[in-house]
């Protein structure tokens, strides 16, 4: 079955990034010159998804404006003959449909995904957490969609992390069934002790619509929130769930250090900044 919809939970307050996020949504912080959220939308689009569902909250208008047309800006650029810039602006929302729904209360990631239930309308769908920025030859969402098509089961992206960091992630317990592929036996959100493995959940998921029933039956968990990890645990009672070690690099752009690393990484990839940035880094280390 084809996956055409992606959900972007974007309602978080971004407290890890204050004061930058006091008036600007964290999803709009730039990596080089593109907001974080645009990288994720581009990943989904490159994977063949064309309906982007944003779950937002108060103070997130900038996200809506970013994927909308700016008439004043466009006529100004037109007047000034800045054709290239105008073309670049058009590509932001080219070929995609963008819809928004609001999470009225900060009740957690599982609850945010549940807010998209009616928009997803009974189809399998992708979830991309904008904090996680991926750089991969084949877009990570596309890699996961291939696994979904082959096995017809929900797929969670995972990556090995040092044991000292397992308390920061959802952690899976799984049995290896193929290269980089695991059948999930259990999963636990941010275990304080005895993590079942060091395979950490990274913010990319392909989920079947049955996840919504599972989330509706999920109680408040870690941090007093309705966790997506706990919802998937419920889903496991009736369905197989797979975990997939994707190929590519991941940056936690929701964390100060991860954000700086992501910026440097992207700056070193961009032809117009690459050379000078490399020279600068060499000169200061
Ligand atoms: C969320 C998920 C967690 C996952 C992480 C990946 O946590 O709840 O299972 O490991 O994203 O980035 P958050 O970082 O939003 O607290």
What's the first-to-final CA gap in the chain, in angstroms? 50
Distance 203 CA to ligand 1 centre (A): 6
Q: What is the mean pLDDT of residues 176-180?
A: 96
Instruction: For domain 5-284, say whether CATH 3.90.550.10 is its number.
Output: yes
Residue 228 Cα: closest atom of ligand 1: 8
pTM as predicted:
0.96
Other beta carbons less than 10 A from residue 140's beta carbon: 25
pLDDT at 9: 97
Distance 280 CA to ligand 1 centre (A): 33
pLDDT tens digits, residue range 103-135?
A: 999 899 999 999 999 999 999 999 999 999 999
Q: What is the mean pLDDT of residues 157-182?
A: 97
Band of pLDDT at residue 138, cut at 50, 70 and 90: very high
List, chain by chain if needed, residues with CB within 6 Å of any ligand 1 atom. 109, 129, 131-132, 169-170, 189, 200-203, 227-229
Average of per-residue pLDDT values in the chain = 95
pLDDT tens digits, residue range 247-258?
A: 999 999 999 999
Distance 275 CA to ligand 1 centre (A): 34
SS3 content of the chain, % helix, strand, coil (to 5): 40, 25, 35
**β partners of residue 207:** 125
Q: What is the mean pLDDT of residues 190-205?
A: 96
Q: What is the mean pLDDT of residues 56-83?
A: 92
pLDDT at 59: 87
Q: Does residue 210 surpass a pLDDT of 90?
A: yes
Name the closest-CA residue to atom 6, ligand 1: 202
Domain residue limits, the chain: 5-284
pLDDT at 285: 87
Could you give the CA distance from residue 35 to residue 93 in angstroms, rounded to a whole number?
13
pLDDT at 70: 87
pLDDT at 62: 95
Ramachandran region, residue 220 (left: φ > 0; alpha: ψ -120 to 50; beta: rest): beta
pLDDT at 2: 87
pLDDT at 222: 79
Residue 170 Cα: closest atom of ligand 1: 9
Distance 276 CA to ligand 1 centre (A): 35
Band of pLDDT at residue 92, cut at 50, 70 and 90: very high
Helices (H), 32-98: 36-46, 61-66, 71-79, 83-91
Closest of 10, 5, 16 to residue 49, by C-alpha: 5
Band of pLDDT at residue 1, cut at 50, 70 and 90: confident
pLDDT at 99: 96
Q: Does residue 223 surpass a pLDDT of 90?
A: no
Closest of 182, 29, 210, 16 to residue 113, by C-alpha: 210
Q: Does residue 14 surpass a pLDDT of 80?
A: yes
Q: What is the mean pLDDT of residues 135-143?
A: 98
Could you give the CA distance from residue 141 to residue 47 in angstroms, rounded to a whole number?
6
């Amino acid at each position: 079955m084809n996956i055409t919809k992606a959900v972007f939970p974007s309602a978080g307050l971004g407290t890890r990034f204050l004061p930058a996020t006091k008036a600007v949504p964290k999803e709009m912080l730039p990596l080089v010159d593109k907001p974080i959220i645009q990288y994720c939308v581009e990943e989904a689009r490159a994977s063949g998804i064309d309906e982007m569902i944003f779950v937002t909250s108060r103070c997130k208008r900038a996200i809506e404006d970013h994927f909308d047309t700016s008439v004043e800006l466009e006529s100004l650029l037109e007047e000034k003959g800045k054709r290239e810039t105008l073309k670049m602006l058009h590509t932001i929302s080219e070929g995609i449909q963008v819809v928004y729904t609001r999470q009225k209360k900060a009740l957690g990631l599982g609850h945010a995904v549940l807010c998209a239930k009616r928009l997803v309308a009974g189809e399998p769908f992708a979830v991309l957490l904008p904090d996680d920025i991926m750089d991969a030859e084949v877009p990570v969402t596309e890699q996961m969609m291939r696994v979904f098509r082959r096995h017809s089961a929900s797929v969670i992206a995972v990556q090995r992390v040092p044991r000292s960091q397992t308390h920061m992630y959802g952690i899976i317990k799984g049995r290896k069934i193929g290269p980089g592929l695991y059948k999930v036996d259990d999963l636990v959100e941010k275990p304080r002790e005895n993590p079942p493995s060091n395979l950490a959940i990274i913010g990319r998921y392909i989920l079947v619509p049955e996840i919504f029933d599972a989330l509706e039956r999920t109680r408040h968990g870690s941090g007093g929130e309705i966790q997506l990890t706990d919802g998937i645990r419920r889903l496991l009672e009736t369905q197989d769930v797979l975990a997939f070690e994707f190929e590519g690099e991941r940056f936690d752009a929701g964390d100060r250090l991860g954000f700086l690393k992501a910026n440097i990484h992207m700056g070193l990839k961009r032809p117009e900044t690459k050379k000078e940035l490399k020279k600068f880094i060499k000169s200061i280390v």
